[in-house]
Amino acid sequence: MNLIGKKIVVTGGSGFLGSQIVKMLQEKGISDIIVPRSIDCDLRIPENCSKITKGADIVFHTAGNVGGIGYNKEHPASVFYDNIMMDTLMIEESRKNKVEKFIAIGTVCSYPKFVDVPFSEEQIWSGYPEETNASYGLSKKMMLVQSESYRQEYNFNSIVLVQTNLYGPGDNFDPNTSHVIPALIKKIHDAKNSNISEIEIWGDGTPSRDFLYVDDAARAAILAAERYEKSEPINIGSGNEVTIKELAEILIKLMNVKSQVVWNKQKPNGQPRRCLSIEKARREIGFEPQVRLEEGLKRTIEWYELLQDSSGKTSIN
């Protein structure tokens, strides 16, 4: 599908992933882009979803209520409700308004807690998600059901991208809602600035994750919009697995910190292992990650430290 000349809606378009999608669409010469803001467009309300999709050709749905392990444990009900309402209504109103194509952004949290690594798309229904992420993972997983059902009954063209953990400049560094990479960067940065000798990290460091630089994720979403036409899920990840312990060691080295890591084993580890197979993405849309983890971390650290220097603050929302 050629996106040039299309009217495109990007929900969450001012957020971490959505803003990069908007930027890349603009770089392709697309100017008719609608970015609804949550402050005046609550996507849990049908009328709002109908209003923003009326006359639209393409919808990238990146909006969501999401946070790290602590946030998900504290707010499982609101995470479930907010996401399932936004996702369901956005697909339904897009269908009603005859949107040509709907690109739904799913999550690696939808995969079962215990599954062969790397995760292949065929395994997504083989078990229950890891408990601390279940409300988020299952709410997003329902987009797969809705997408396939709507294709069967209405011939509605929707696709679901199952994305891994994203990171990069512009990430959320709020300690109450951030994911592991920004959380660790902030902790290490604060320890360095305050001469703190110990850095506490949740769990025991053994869980593994698959981290994808946000620019690569945005590029994959656009490639899928142009080239993928099926309701079956398609994984978007780096294809590489790194433990939290290894991640912490890389960050400490890059940030030149002498503090010692203390693992708080009373806190949850989360899912034991996560790494997505991206063979299908390579085959179907020609996706290949371009930014290696260490390079992406350097860019993220530089962005965060520059922001701290310019603002005089130690954290951002």
- Residues catalogued as catalytic: 136
Q: Is 209 annotated as a binding residue?
A: yes
Check whether 247 is labelled as a binding-site residue: no
CA nearest to 215, candidates 223, 205, 206, 207: 223
User: Binding site annotation covers 187?
Assistant: yes
- Ligand-binding annotation for 194, yes or no, is no
Could you give the CA distance from residue 248 to residue 262 in angstroms, rounded to a whole number? 11
179 in a known ligand binding site? yes
CA distance 104 to 313: 35
In this structure, which amino acid lies at residue 155? N
Handedness of CA 293, 296, 298, 303 (dihedral sign): negative
Cβ neighbours around 224 below 10 Å, total: 23
Q: What's 97's DSSP letter?
A: T
DSSP per-residue letters across 12-66: TTTSHHHHHHHHHHHHTT---EE---TTT--TTSHHHHHHHHTT-SEEEE-----
Asked if residue 54 lies in contact with residue 112, where contact means CB atoms within 8 angstroms, the answer is no
Is 29 annotated as ligand-binding? no
SS3 string of 199-238? EEEECCCCCEECEEEHHHHHHHHHHHHHHCCCCCCEEECC
| Backbone angle region of 276, left / alpha / beta, with phi > 0 → left and psi within -120 to 50 → alpha | beta
Residue 13 annotated as lining a ligand binding site: yes
User: What b-and-e string marks burial along 276-286, b requiring 16 or more CB atoms within 10 Å of the CB?
Assistant: bbbebbeebbe
- Comparing CA positions, the residue from 164, 165, 287 lying closest to residue 224 is 287
CA–CA dist 163, 261 (Å, integer):
29
Do the annotations mark residue 173 as ligand-binding? no
CA 53, CA 25: separation in Å to the nearest integer? 18
Strands (E) across 35-178 are located at 58-61, 101-107, 158-163, 165-167
Is 303 marked as a binding-site residue?
no
Binding-site residues, in ranges, read 12-18, 140, 179, 187, 202, 209
Binding-site residues for substrate, in ranges, read 187, 202, 209
Binding-site residues for NADP(+), in ranges, read 12-18, 140, 179
